[in-house]
Amino acid sequence: MKKYKIIIKEDSLEDAILVSQQIPELELGYPESEYYSRLKNINNLTLIAYIKNKPVGFKIGYETYSKQYFYSWMGGVLPKYRQSGIATSLMDFQEQWATKSRYKRIIVKTRTKHTTMIKFLLKHQFIQIGVIPFCPEAETRIIYEKKLNLL
């Protein structure tokens, strides 16, 4: 595992979309219009991780309709930079921001086929709260949440 100096910034949605288009697991990702549609007129956070001024990861989330929960919607790290703490840095930044913003929980959905993401969520104290069955089963969605310690 190579160590890098990671810089996390709140940044533009356009740049986050460019990073997302380089993540192999998101090959059938959302069109650009879906990003703008989901984030329109709602409290949201777009983060980009940089190493030597190069964008290498991103995380996008937004407030749920109840206004109590923050939905961590999309994220990823370029394959070359995985296992170097970037996903954790993005998650930590998002959790701190959500806590300061007074959200009670962070909600995440992933698919059964994304076993690395499932292990990551469990390692970071997320608990499974639901399942949405799909066919094939690899596309089944698993819902996780993490309660935030409000200040």
Average pLDDT in the 19-36 region? 88
Confidence of residue 30 (pLDDT cuts 50, 70, 90): confident
Domains of the chain, first to last: 7-147 (3.40.630.30)
pLDDT tens profile 114-126: 999 999 999 999 9
Taking the whole predicted model, whether its pTM rises above 0.85 is answered as yes
Confidence of residue 1 (pLDDT cuts 50, 70, 90): low
> Does the pLDDT value for residue 27 go beyond 80?
no
- Report the distance separating Cα 84 and Cα 87, nearest Å: 8
Average pLDDT in the 71-90 region? 95
What pLDDT does residue 26 have?
84
Diameter of the chain measured on Cα atoms: 42
What pLDDT does residue 5 have?
93
pLDDT tens profile 87-104: 999 999 999 999 999 999
Helices (H) and strands (E) in the chain, counts: 4, 7
More confident residue, 24 or 29: 24
Closest C-alpha to 114, from 92, 137, 130: 137
